[in-house]
Amino acid sequence: MRLQTKAIHIGRGVDPSTGAVSIPLHTSTTFERGADGAFPSGFEYTRDANPTRNAFEAAMAALEGGHQAIAFSSGMAAISAVIEGHPSRGRIVVPDDMYFGIRSLMDETDIGRRFDFVPVDMRDLDALHTAVTGADTGLVWIETPSNPLIRVVDIAAACQIANEAGALAVVDNTWATPVLQRPLEFGADAVMHSATKYIGGHSDLMAGVVVTPEGSPLERPLRMIQRHKGSVAAPFDCWLALRGLQTLPLRMEAHCEGARKVADALNAHRHVKQVLFPGLPDDPGHALATRQMSGYGAMLSFIVAGGAEAAMAVAGRLRLIVRATSLGGAHSLIEHRASVEGPKSMAPAGLLRVSVGLEHPQDIIDDLTQALDGLA
Ligand SMILES: *Cc1c(COP(=O)(O)O)cnc(C)c1O
Cα(41) to centroid(ligand 1), Å: 34
Examine the domain organization and report whether 257 and 186 are in the same domain.
Answer: no
* Per-residue pLDDT reduced to its tens digit, 140-156: 999 999 999 999 999 99
Contact between residue 42 and residue 31 where contact means Cβ atoms under 8 Å apart = no
Residue at which a domain ends, from 191, 219, 243? 243
User: Distances in Å between the alpha carbon of 352 and those of 147, 273, 333?
Assistant: 11, 12, 10
Question: Does residue 99 have its Cβ closer than 6 Å to ligand 1?
Answer: yes
88 has pLDDT over 90: no
| Among protein residues, the one whose CA lies closest to atom 7 of ligand 1 | 75
Residue at which a domain ends, from 226, 243, 260? 243
Question: What is the per-residue pLDDT for 5?
Answer: 98
Examine the domain organization and report whether 57 and 204 are in the same domain.
Answer: yes
Question: Does residue 138 have its Cβ closer than 6 Å to ligand 1?
Answer: no
Report the distance separating Cα 3 and Cα 276, nearest Å: 29
Examine the domain organization and report whether 221 and 307 are in the same domain.
Answer: no
Q: Is 172 a catalytic residue?
A: yes
Going by pLDDT thresholds of 50, 70 and 90, the confidence category of residue 171 is very high
Examine the domain organization and report whether 337 and 225 are in the same domain.
Answer: no
Cα(201) to centroid(ligand 1), Å: 13
The ligand 1 atom nearest the CA atom of 208: 7
Examine the domain organization and report whether 193 and 293 are in the same domain.
Answer: no
* Per-residue pLDDT reduced to its tens digit, 212-232: 999 999 999 999 999 999 999
Question: What is the per-residue pLDDT for 211?
Answer: 98
Please report, for the domain that includes residue 105, its CATH number: 3.40.640.10
Examine the domain organization and report whether 299 and 255 are in the same domain.
Answer: yes
Examine the domain organization and report whether 104 and 230 are in the same domain.
Answer: yes
Predicted TM-score (pTM) of the model is: 0.97
% of the chain residues with pLDDT over 90:
95
In SS3 terms, 278-300 reads as CCCCCCCCHHHHHHHCCCCCCEE
Q: Which of 53, 103, 182, 197 is catalytic?
A: 197
Examine the domain organization and report whether 197 and 283 are in the same domain.
Answer: no
Classify 55 as helix, strand or coil.
helix
Examine the domain organization and report whether 230 and 289 are in the same domain.
Answer: no
Question: What is the per-residue pLDDT for 312?
Answer: 97
Question: What is the per-residue pLDDT for 212?
Answer: 98
Q: What integer best gives the mean pLDDT of the chain?
A: 96
The number of domains in the chain is 2
Question: Does residue 144 have its Cβ closer than 6 Å to ligand 1?
Answer: no
Please report, for the domain that includes residue 340, its CATH number: 3.90.1150.10
Report the phi/psi class of residue 326: left, alpha or beta, with left for phi > 0 and alpha for psi in -120 to 50.
left
134 has pLDDT over 80: no
133 has pLDDT over 90: no
344 has pLDDT over 90: no
Question: Does residue 194 have its Cβ closer than 6 Å to ligand 1?
Answer: yes
Going by pLDDT thresholds of 50, 70 and 90, the confidence category of residue 376 is confident
% of the chain residues with pLDDT over 70:
100
Q: Which of 12, 91, 97, 99 is catalytic?
A: 99
Question: Does residue 353 have its Cβ closer than 6 Å to ligand 1?
Answer: no
Question: What is the per-residue pLDDT for 362?
Answer: 98
104 has pLDDT over 90: yes
Examine the domain organization and report whether 118 and 190 are in the same domain.
Answer: yes
Q: Any bridge partners for residue 161, and if so which?
A: none
Burial annotation 39-75 (CB, 10 A radius, 16+ → b, else e): eeeebeebeebbbbbbbbbbbbbbbbbbebbbbbbbb
Examine the domain organization and report whether 15 and 157 are in the same domain.
Answer: yes
Residue ranges with strand state E in the chain? 68-72, 91-95, 116-120, 137-143, 168-172, 190-194, 208-212, 272-276, 299-304, 322-323, 333-335, 351-355
Cα(141) to centroid(ligand 1), Å: 14
Going by pLDDT thresholds of 50, 70 and 90, the confidence category of residue 284 is very high
Question: What is the per-residue pLDDT for 135?
Answer: 79
How much is the average pLDDT of 337-360?
93
Question: Does residue 231 have its Cβ closer than 6 Å to ligand 1?
Answer: no
Q: Any bridge partners for residue 95, and if so which?
A: 120
| Among protein residues, the one whose CA lies closest to atom 15 of ligand 1 | 174
Q: Which of 47, 89, 229, 243 is catalytic?
A: 47
Examine the domain organization and report whether 263 and 237 are in the same domain.
Answer: no
Give the structural domain span for 291.
250-373
Question: What is the per-residue pLDDT for 295?
Answer: 98
Q: Identify the weakest region by mean pLDDT among 143-152, 326-335, 341-350.
A: 341-350
Question: What is the per-residue pLDDT for 130?
Answer: 96
* Per-residue pLDDT reduced to its tens digit, 154-163: 999 999 999 9
Question: What is the per-residue pLDDT for 156?
Answer: 98
